[in-house]
Amino acid sequence: MQRTKIKEILQSDKCDYQVNVKGWVRSFRNNQFIALNDGSCMGNLQVVIGLDADEQLIKGINNGVSISVDGMVIASQGKGQKVEIKADAVTILGECDPEKFPLQLKNRPSLEYLREIAHLRFRTNTFGAVFRVRHTLAYAIHKFFNDRGFVYLHTPIVTASDAEGAGEMFRVSTLPFDNPPRNEDGTINFKEDFFGRATNLTVSGQLEAELGAMAFSEVYTFGPTFRAENSNTARHLAEFWMIEPEVAFNDIYDNMDLAEDLLKFVISYALEHNREDLDFLATRLADEEKQKPMNERSEMGLIEKLEFVLNNKFERITYTEAIDILLDSTAYKKKKFQYDVKWGIDMQSEHERYLVEKHFKKPVIVTGYPKEIKAFYMRQNDDGKTVAAMDILAPGIGEIVGGSQREERLDKLTQRMEEMHIPTEEMYWYLDTRRFGGVPHAGFGLGFERMVLFVTGMTNIRDVIPFPRTPKNAEF
């Protein structure tokens, strides 16, 4: 008999039909009631075993065991669920030694502990919900761009350029570590390496995406990104996923609209398709908040927050306005900021948090940053001081999107590259787009895990990627 997904059975009120279900035992009560979960949804299906069941079978049914059940879906006699399965036959597919099974759900294992057994944590309610939502968000991103006629461009994972200066890179090499070929001056001879040159894992697909946009008009990338920074925070990973749309003929304002539309679309898509998971995560978050002192609790629940974001326009301010707001704040006047505020600084996270969480209390798009603190490819504004950059700051997360209108004027671009000591000869392929039919264009990078954090209400980025890679940690 073909397997029926538990989600399908729980979603319908239909009764009195024969099914087969397979899944993992979450709890076994009273030698009679199995709570069975197959990952298709949050809820467990109650499987009822007759009291006359085989003793060996009953002994074998522990938490974590995988089973196959044939039986009749009936209206439940007990409270707590509409339907249940009266089992005719139960087969144990894979046993699970309860003495050794590290996942004991009744102990409410901590997120930190579950991170150490990340290969088993999918079998918990929290991580089940998180990764179903993560899937939905990934799908919604592709749907959003596909519906708008974007081409999904696969930019390379292995790259030779270190142009963007986005951070420390992981070297890709097949040279022997202990005895690499050397040049006469003692430096390593990468001409003998696999690619015939020094190569690294990508830190961004943007530059390549720009090339695609100069032909397809609108493209996006969605792939893994690698930063070898020694960052030990709840917001950083060495391997993370990034979405980078790049659109020809767009200016910075179109770019802001696109980013805001994208974020709102994927949030609404998740609310629509993963409501049960999000409700669970909202409850989990509310429980966690109860542990905190009053003044640290957030004013809104998770669902409320997501709906608020959907229903309100993101605040749009310039960097100069942002600095003025900070200078005018009581926090600044009472010297609450650890770092000083003045025009030209790269805003610290305490400043960004003030703007987003205290002043505006919603996502804020900041534009027009000083050119000194931004990348070479950003379009220079007429004031000669600022560039057409935009960062979207989200409450609780900080920078979730970073983007800009790109400098399409060849002379201005090469001049800026020279000022910042970026080799223009090596970057000929990038500059060619400005030489041969270049157009104004804009794009941004959206950190996927940061978005998953925002939507799920989780607080540590290591809990929203299946197998986190961070300094000193590449287990599993």
Partner RNA sequence: UCCUCCUUAGCUCAGUUGGUUAGAGCACAUGACUGUUAAUCAUGGGGUCUCAGGUUCAAGUCCUGAAGGGGGAGCCA
- Within positions 351 to 410, which residues make up the interface with RNA, using CB under 7 A? 353, 398-402
Quick one: which of 109, 128, 245, 443 contacts RNA (CB under 7 A)? 109
294 binds RNA (CB under 7 A): no
Say how far apart CA 76 and CA 356 lie, in whole Å: 48
- For residue 463, give the amino acid letter: D
348 binds RNA (CB under 7 A): yes
Q: Which of residues 73-92 bind RNA (CB under 7 A)?
A: 76-81, 84, 86
Say how far apart CA 36 and CA 64 lie, in whole Å: 10
167/370 with CB nearer RNA: 167
Size of the site for RNA (CB under 7 A): 72
Partners of 17 in the β-ladder: 73
102 binds RNA (CB under 7 A): yes
Q: Are strands 239-248 and 158-159 parallel, antiparallel or unpaired?
A: unpaired
193/238 with CB nearer RNA: 238
Structure tokens at 353: 């948090």
What is the closest distance, in whole angstroms, from the C-beta atom of residue 114 to RNA in the complex?
8
Question: Which residue matches tokens 């200016």?
Answer: 251
Alpha-carbon torsion 132, 137, 142, 144, what sign?
A: positive
Q: Which of residues 216-235 bind RNA (CB under 7 A)?
A: 227, 229-235
**How far are the Cα atoms of 73, 295, 316, 411 from residue 249, in angstroms, in the given order?**
57, 46, 21, 19
Structure tokens at 18: 């024969």
**Which one, of 473, 459, 456, lies nearest residue 125 by Cα?**
456
193/203 with CB nearer RNA: 203
Binding region for RNA (CB under 7 A) out of 102-110, 118-126, 247-255, 318-326: 102-110
Q: Which of residues 125-184 bind RNA (CB under 7 A)?
A: 166-167
What is the closest distance, in whole angstroms, from the C-beta atom of residue 80 to RNA in the complex?
3
Structure tokens at 247: 């659109």
Q: Site mask, RNA, residues 439-468, x = CB under 7 A?
A: ------xxx-xx--------xxxx------
32 binds RNA (CB under 7 A): yes
334 binds RNA (CB under 7 A): no
Say how far apart CA 285 and CA 302 lie, in whole Å: 7
260 binds RNA (CB under 7 A): no
190/252 with CB nearer RNA: 252
106 binds RNA (CB under 7 A): yes
- For residue 230, give the amino acid letter: N
**Which one, of 82, 85, 65, lies nearest residue 73 by Cα?**
85
Say how far apart CA 325 and CA 356 lie, in whole Å: 12
35 binds RNA (CB under 7 A): yes
**How far are the Cα atoms of 285, 317, 364 from residue 356, in angstroms, in the given order?**
20, 11, 6
Say how far apart CA 378 and CA 367 lie, in whole Å: 12
298 binds RNA (CB under 7 A): no
**Residues contacting 464, CB < 8 A, separation 6+:** 130, 134, 449, 452, 453, 456, 458
83/303 with CB nearer RNA: 83
Q: Which of residues 180-209 bind RNA (CB under 7 A)?
A: 204
190/203 with CB nearer RNA: 203
Quick one: which of 104, 146, 183, 312 contacts RNA (CB under 7 A)? 104
318 binds RNA (CB under 7 A): no
193/394 with CB nearer RNA: 394
What is the closest distance, in whole angstroms, from the C-beta atom of residue 437 to RNA in the complex?
27
**Which one, of 355, 352, 370, lies nearest residue 325 by Cα?**
355
63 binds RNA (CB under 7 A): yes
Quick one: which of 9, 25, 42, 48 contacts RNA (CB under 7 A)? 48
User: What does the DSSP assignment read for 296-325?
Assistant: GS-SS-HHHHHHHHHHSPPEEEEHHHHHHH
146/233 with CB nearer RNA: 233
Say how far apart CA 302 and CA 270 lie, in whole Å: 13
96 binds RNA (CB under 7 A): no
Binding region for RNA (CB under 7 A) out of 56-64, 187-195, 321-329, 430-438: 56-64
